[in-house]
Amino acid sequence: MALLPATITATVRPLSALNSSNDPSYVRILDTTLRDGEQAPGGAMTAEQKIAVARNLVLLGVDVIDAGFPISSPEDFNAVKLIADEVGNMRGGHEPVIMAAARCSKIDIDTAWAAVSGARRPRLGTFIATSEIHMKHKLKKNADEVVAIAREMVAYARSVGFQDISFAAEDSLRSDKDFLCRIFGEVIKAGARTVIIADTVGCSMPSEIGGFVAYIRDHTPGIENAIVSIHCHNDLGLANANTLAGIEAGAREVEVTINGIGERAGNAALEEVVMAIKCRKELMGGLYTGVNTKYLIATSKMVVECTGLNVQPHKAIVGANAFSHESGIHQDGVLKFKGTYEFISREDIGLDLTSEPSIVLGKLSGRHALKSRLLKLGYDLDGTELDDIFKKFKLLTAKKKNITDDDIEELVCSKSMQSEPIWSLGYLQVMHGTMGFSTAVVKLLNVDGQERIACSMGRGPVDAAYKAIDNIIQTPMKLVEYKNSFLDGIHAISLTQVVVSEDNGNISTHCPCTKANGYSNGHAPSEGAIGHSNGNDSSKKANGHAMSFSGSGESTDLVVSSVEAYLRAVNRMVAKKESS
């Protein structure tokens, strides 16, 4: 699991550990991915994964990390304690508050203190239900009893050592507003410095939330000594809108999760709430957060990796389609100037422009988009040549939904180049394991049926096989890009795509290989090989553009699919070179 860089510039936050604010425009971000987010079905994480996510939350710059519910299990206690002891003591940079959740009970509070007391800025997040339906059917207690419990437990938390205490009224939005003001006033008097309005079942509308927050701020005794926080669930798809409405009404802390994961339909999404505040600052009254948004994409991907909860393609900010364009009109606009159809800057969220192309070729794509992709592949076509390729492209989109670079190459290449490869695979044998370098033996057949055999060593079976092919073909080339994915199933299919280009320097030597995540049968080119050129950049140009050639392969064996993809790309390069 790759971590983000371990350094971050120290920042001075306007909110102290006791939540007093010297800047009413600052909105504190509490991330509850490790607790409420993990409660999403199938989203459980190991202690090691939680620590890794917590480290990245520090780099992201969240103010409070809700580390978990220590009383729930020994594993959760251990994870919360490790986060408090390590992440809660990261000197020399941003130092977040580390919070542990607890019910209003002494054993929960004692366990929470044991878990987070090692952090320099520990916090207790305690809660009790306040709605009539919860008090009657779940707690089986009346309103006076609930107030007494809340007041007593907040005071008890102070006595065990907690100086920073937040109190959440579970199911706030279905609670009586005056009762909520009463219980908030009592817990503030007992020592709570944050009171949380929770839309626990996600039933509220933005206008309702705004009025609710405003009422609590106007009628709660001692509210000037506390921060109002808002916690929204997404059952009606309104968690983000409700959170923003709460902020506009005076809430100065928001409880959110990465990718919006959480119970049932999830929680308000950190990335969407933060970017809404940042991008529409003028409409939000100049409010701001301390989040370093350049880490949003990386943190989102890490949470997906750790939880296994994938982000839907159309998810705002971090979804695969968030910065993609297929409509010809939109493609033409963003190719001329990104701001025509992208008002959020990709760089602001840490999007890697080299590996996340925005132009998706499909049936709605226009000539401008196709020409742009052709240029990237090394083909500078105009006039009748472009017209002919565009007609073929449109016919292809009527039959195929997803158009790949491989498909575009097929449109450009001649029939002879497509039907009769110059080199084909005779056999492949690899040896690899934990004892050192891998060895590959490759036999290729040329168009005349002649056999060529080569053996090579490499740092992984794919690297060794590619070097053996290079030794046979003896054509200067470099591996520009290598991508691999698997189709799920007991007999997983490995799908490989590569891009190669001519190199006027030495015969290609592939980049050092490292073990790739998810590769069950070996090593694959990585580091510089994935998305970066190997060696010096001396490949031939076509009107200023690198002559590159792509290929794809698929097999139940990763090495075989990688070799098929490489041979296909190399055949195209050699054929193009000979025809020139």
User: Mind listing the pLDDT tens digit for each residue in 162-215?
Assistant: 999 999 999 999 999 999 999 999 999 999 999 999 999 999 999 999 999 999
More confident residue, 536 or 421: 421
Q: In the chain, pLDDT over 70 holds for what percent of residues?
A: 82
User: Mind listing the pLDDT tens digit for each residue in 537-562?
Assistant: 323 344 444 567 878 887 888 899 99
Task: Quote the strand ranges of 406-488, DSSP E.
Answer: 423-431, 438-446, 451-458, 477-487
Count of other CB atoms within 10 angstroms of residue 26: 17
Q: Is the pLDDT score of 302 beyond 90?
A: yes
Q: Are 130 and 166 in contact (CB under 8 A)?
A: no
3-state DSSP helix/strand/coil % of the chain, to nearest 5: 40, 20, 40
Query: Quick one: pLDDT band at residue 352, thresholds 50, 70, 90?
Result: low
Rounded distance between C-alpha atoms, residue 437 and residue 457, angstroms: 6
Q: Are 575 and 417 in contact (CB under 8 A)?
A: yes
Query: Quick one: pLDDT band at residue 468, thresholds 50, 70, 90?
Result: very high
pLDDT confidence of residue 341 = 67
Q: Is the pLDDT score of 536 beyond 50?
A: no
pLDDT confidence of residue 521 = 35
Q: Is the pLDDT score of 491 beyond 70?
A: no
Q: Are 230 and 277 in contact (CB under 8 A)?
A: no
pLDDT confidence of residue 545 = 46
Q: Are 580 and 547 in contact (CB under 8 A)?
A: no
SS in 3 state form for 36-95? HHCCCCCCCCCHHHHHHHHHHHHHHCCCEEEEECHHHCHHHHHHHHHHHHHHHHCCCCCC
Count of other CB atoms within 10 angstroms of residue 206: 18
Query: Quick one: pLDDT band at residue 413, thresholds 50, 70, 90?
Result: low
Q: Is the pLDDT score of 237 beyond 80?
A: yes
Residues 351-365: what's their mean pLDDT?
65
- Look at phi and psi of residue 191 and say left if phi exceeds 0, alpha if psi is from -120 to 50, else beta: left
398, two tokens: 């009527």
234, two tokens: 């997404």
Whose CA is closest to 26, among 292, 287, 279, 214? 287
392, two tokens: 């073929």
469-499 b/e with 16+ CB inside 10 Å = b? bbebbebbbbbbbbebeeeeeeeeebbbbbb
Query: Quick one: pLDDT band at residue 379, thresholds 50, 70, 90?
Result: confident
Q: In the chain, pLDDT over 90 holds for what percent of residues?
A: 56
Name the average pLDDT for the chain. 83
Q: Is the pLDDT score of 507 beyond 80?
A: no
Residues 60-89: what's their mean pLDDT?
96
Query: Quick one: pLDDT band at residue 57, thresholds 50, 70, 90?
Result: very high
405, two tokens: 């670079």
SS in 3 state form for 268-286? CEHHHHHHHHHHCCCCCCC
pLDDT confidence of residue 249 = 97
Q: Is the pLDDT score of 13 beyond 70?
A: no
Q: Is the pLDDT score of 369 beyond 70?
A: yes
pLDDT confidence of residue 27 = 97
Query: Quick one: pLDDT band at residue 2, thresholds 50, 70, 90?
Result: very low
Residues 235-252: what's their mean pLDDT?
97
Domains of the chain (ranges; CATH) run 28-307 (3.20.20.70), 328-412 (no CATH), 419-579 (3.30.160.270)
